[in-house]
Amino acid sequence: MKSSLETVPVLISKRINEKNSGDIFFINEFSGFNDEYVGRILSQAVAMGKIVRIANGIYYKPVMSKFGIVYPSTEKLIKTIMERDNASILPSGATALNRLGLSTQVPMNPVFLTNGSARVISLGNKKITLKRAVQKNFMFEGKLMPVLVQALKSLGESNITSKEEGDIQAVISRYPDELDDIRKGLPYVPNWMRKLLNNIIKKYSI
């Protein structure tokens, strides 16, 4: 048993070496080994600079440049977590507004809603927050409507002027194939949001 355990660091190091620079991976990918034990070995690899710990149980094999570590994009990170956890993740607040072009401000520390695990992930000086949210946030169909609802929540009813309404209409016009998905979601949004979106999509005939 002892000789078997002595090979574990070698086996885990081999798996790390087989990964490509830029890969994001999770502690439970090392099946067959105790997570706590694997964690200690991964901590040693972090101390040696071979990998970077970006969140509890999540690691990154860094891409290096002359300026230091090149961290993965937020989009790559979110996609990797969604696929691994089989979870839904939505931009919220200022992040949703920026994603739709309703704000030019790029959040330094973006916030997302998820029906998976809540996490705070560190990518250098940037922190990405995944907040656990109730399932009704993820009930909307299509690519636009789930994000649009979060963006409108962030704006708030009192901040919707004719300019904002025009900007929202411009966003919706980029997704003509999703008008039906917007209509399907109207019964589940606040009354002011329903009225706003109804007024906009009535201008389109399909």
In order along the chain (206 residues), what is the average pLDDT of each group of 10 residues?
A: 60 90 91 83 93 94 93 94 94 96 92 95 93 95 96 95 94 94 96 96 72
What pLDDT sits at residue 202? 86
Supply the pLDDT for residue 2.
44
How far lies 174's CA from each of 74, 80, 100, 178, in Å? 23, 26, 10, 9
pLDDT at 3: 43
Provide the pLDDT for residue 32. 76
- Contact yes or no for 115/88 (Cβ under 8 A): yes
Query: What pLDDT is attached to residue 205?
Result: 56
- The amino acid at 116: G
Output phi, psi for 165, to 5 deg: -60, -40
Which pTM value belongs to this model?
A: 0.85
Can you give the pLDDT at residue 1?
41
- What amino acid occupies position 104? T
The domains of the chain, with CATH numbers, are 9-65 (1.10.10), 73-206 (no CATH)
Indicate the residue type of 179: L
